[in-house]
Chain A
C-alpha cells in the first residue's frame, strides 16, 4: 500500500547520542512535515519542506535538523538527544506546497525515548 514509511517505529536512546528518524513517501507529494506529539499538547510542527531542496522551521525546531535532497525522503536528525525530546514523532506529507490546500497524510509514528 502506498503511503509514508517511518523508521524506526520505536527506539530507546541514551542522552547525548545522535539519532536520525527516517521518512519516505511514494505519493510524489511536494510538501513534507515532521511533528511531535506529546500528551496534552497535541501535534507540534518541528520542521517542514514545501518542495525538494527547501526546508523551513516550525513551532519547535530547536535541537532538530532536516534535509530534503529529493521528493521522497525527509529525515529528521537529533544531533545530541535530550530527555525532553522523548515523544512520538510523526512524518506527514501533502500534495500541495504548504498546509493550505491539501490534507495531510501521516506515517505510523516513531516512538522515541531518551534516557
Chain B
C-alpha cells in the first residue's frame, strides 16, 4: 500500500512564501503530482515530478527527492486566491495513483 503524509493546515500572510511538505512510502515510484482544490470545487493539476529536482512554474514550484521519499510545493508571493487545499499524489509501482489527505492553506491579509 501507499502512505502519504502532509500537514493538515497551514496559515500564511498575503505576499509571503509557504512550503507544503509531502513524504511518502510506496511500493515503487513512478511520479508525483500536486493538485489544488478550492472549497466546493474539483481538484486541478498544478505539477508533476518524476525526476529529482525542482520544477518551477510561475509562482509555484515543486521539488522531489526520490531517495528521501520527499516532495514539497512552494507557493511564492501568496495571494488571497491561493487559499485552498493542496493535494499530494503519488504513482506507485503498480501505476495506481494514491492521494494524501491534503493541506488546507489559509492566506490572511
Contacts and interface: CB of A to CB of B under 8 A. Distances in A.
B96 A109 contact: no
B96 A99 contact: yes
A42 B42 contact: no
A42 B95 contact: no
Q: Which 5 A-B pairs have the closest CB atoms?
A: A99-B97, A106-B42, A42-B101, A43-B99, A103-B45
B97 A104 contact: yes
A90 B42 contact: yes
Contacts of A43: 43, 87, 89, 99
Nearest to B97: A99
Interface of B: 4, 30-31, 33, 35, 41-45, 48, 87, 89, 91, 95-102
B67 to A, nearest CB: 20
Contacts of A105: 45
A99 B48 contact: no
Contact of A106 (B44, B48, B98): B44
A66 to B, nearest CB: 16
A41 to B, nearest CB: 6
A35 B100 CA distance: 13
A40 B101 contact: yes
A103 B42 contact: no
A75 interface: no
B19 to A, nearest CB: 20
